[in-house]
Amino acid sequence: ADVGPETAATIARRDALLGPAYRLMYERPLHIVKGEGAWLIDSDGRRFLDIYNNVTSLGHCHPRVVEAITRQVATLATNTRYLHETILELAERLLATVPGTDLAHMMLTCTGSEANDLAYRMAKVRTGGTGIIVTETAYHGFTDAVSQFSPSLGVTVDLGAHVRLVPAPRAYHADGADLGERFTRDVEAAIADLKRHGIKPAMLIVDSIFTSDGILPDPRCFLKGAVEAIRKAGGLFVGDEVQPGFGRTGEHMWGFQRHGVVPDIVTMGKPMGNGQPIAGLLVTHDAVAQFGRDSRYFNTFAGNTVSCAAAVAVLDTIEQEGLIAHSARIGTHLREGIAALAERHEAIGDVRGVGMFVGVEIVSDRARRTPDRELTSRVVNLLRDKGVLISACAMGHNVLKIRPPMVLDAGQADMVIAALDESFAEAAAGN
């Protein structure tokens, strides 16, 4: 794509300096210099509506978080080997989101990958097993251990011999089948296969909104049978809340609550510090007891006073701005608006989601539900040129992944709907 000489030079410099493992988004990559609420502003002063970044879930540079970080960084930035009130307040506040459950402790990391890595270490110690069950296009992180159970990284990444994949609950493709029953059966078959190979199951881990599998919130409660099955086999159920957590679904604080199950370990990250690198886990005492006796946990930056202050400010903001209810209201408005576009645009096969998590499945043939990867990529890039930032996911790379900040307002949602309308029309006309 034509990006102009200045951008081309910056891209070349970046490639030379950072090497070949990094990727940029969009055919015409963005050079962002400032963020403000739902907006990102580029080096030419152009404004983009950022409805993709679910890290800055309260909006870019939320004043309350900025203030908390600034105050704390000017006072004390240090680690978990000293007593400090803020980490304890954070633990109490997070554990208060799961009352009446066995989740009893909070542990902190810097990234979601580390949280899942630590969850797996604890699951291995607790169960004496190594087997892992994940959905077929899941992403759980970048460490050596976690990339082995992150099939969305692609065919070049070796999944571990101890990993089994199960199909994600793709309601749009299920022709009315009972997805709860099917998922339970698939998890049971995976357990049996692990055992046949002499591998004891350690955990079933799911992102409860199945982000990289294509954003699959339904049917409600369908995870129950699978969770029972893994526990019966001696394994733990790990809920990866890196994507749906912190109220994004507009229903609860956590995505698993939609399904009426409680994980043995909950992992979280991304929106936890609205941009500060903080992630972590809620664990039952039982899940961590042996690990805590045999080992110890220290992570230099995780749980630092500044990140904890950011996370407490995030929890305050979600509560005080009523963002879970807002997420439900505006999310519904957005989804209904996009669903109405399906009457005009044949390529829109399915519109789904919950709260501020919307998936739009793009097909070349509605009757056959044939994935249209090319059109999806076209729409993503047309939207970018119109100033709306999203991306795509799912096995066929044909689901628009839309995750606005929870502070998105109705006017901004309408801008997104209008930009989608134009993009689908232009893409269909071959532009």
Residues at the interface with ligand PMP (CB under 6 A): 111-113, 116, 139-142, 207, 211, 240, 242-243, 269, 279
Q: Which pair of tokens denotes residue 340?
A: 């109405």
Spatial distance between the Cα atoms of 45 and 295, rounded to a whole number of angstroms: 51
215 close to 362: Cβ distance less than 8 angstroms: no
Residue nearest to ligand PMP (CB): 112
Nearer of residues 242 and 417 to ligand PMP, judged by Cβ: 242
Nearer of residues 199 and 278 to ligand PMP, judged by Cβ: 278
Spatial distance between the Cα atoms of 127 and 287, rounded to a whole number of angstroms: 9
Tell me, rounded to whole angstroms, the distance of Cα 415 from its chain centroid.
24
Spatial distance between the Cα atoms of 40 and 50, rounded to a whole number of angstroms: 6
Q: How far is the CB of 241 from ligand PMP (least distance, A)?
A: 8
CA separation (Å) from 140 to 88, 114, 120, 150, 393? 27, 10, 11, 5, 14
Nearer of residues 273 and 371 to ligand PMP, judged by Cβ: 273
Q: How far is the CB of 152 from ligand PMP (least distance, A)?
A: 9
- The 10 Å Cβ neighbour count of residue 143 is 16
Q: How far is the CB of 279 from ligand PMP (least distance, A)?
A: 6
Nearer of residues 201 and 245 to ligand PMP, judged by Cβ: 245
> Whose CA is closest to 211, among 275, 120, 150, 272?
150
Residue 399 contacts by C-beta under 8 Å, 6 or more apart in sequence? Answer: 214, 215, 359, 360, 361, 362, 376, 392, 393
Q: How far is the CB of 245 from ligand PMP (least distance, A)?
A: 9
CA separation (Å) from 123 to 21, 238, 425? 31, 9, 49
Nearer of residues 116 and 376 to ligand PMP, judged by Cβ: 116
Nearer of residues 116 and 137 to ligand PMP, judged by Cβ: 116
Q: How far is the CB of 260 from ligand PMP (least distance, A)?
A: 20
> Whose CA is closest to 327, among 292, 357, 285?
357
CA separation (Å) from 41 to 45, 60, 314, 387? 6, 11, 23, 10
Nearer of residues 127 and 211 to ligand PMP, judged by Cβ: 211
Nearer of residues 259 and 345 to ligand PMP, judged by Cβ: 259
Nearer of residues 28 and 252 to ligand PMP, judged by Cβ: 252
Q: How far is the CB of 265 from ligand PMP (least distance, A)?
A: 13
Q: How far is the CB of 174 from ligand PMP (least distance, A)?
A: 22
CA separation (Å) from 20 to 1, 11, 25, 343? 19, 12, 14, 42
Q: How far is the CB of 148 from ligand PMP (least distance, A)?
A: 14
Spatial distance between the Cα atoms of 366 and 389, rounded to a whole number of angstroms: 26
Q: How far is the CB of 223 from ligand PMP (least distance, A)?
A: 15
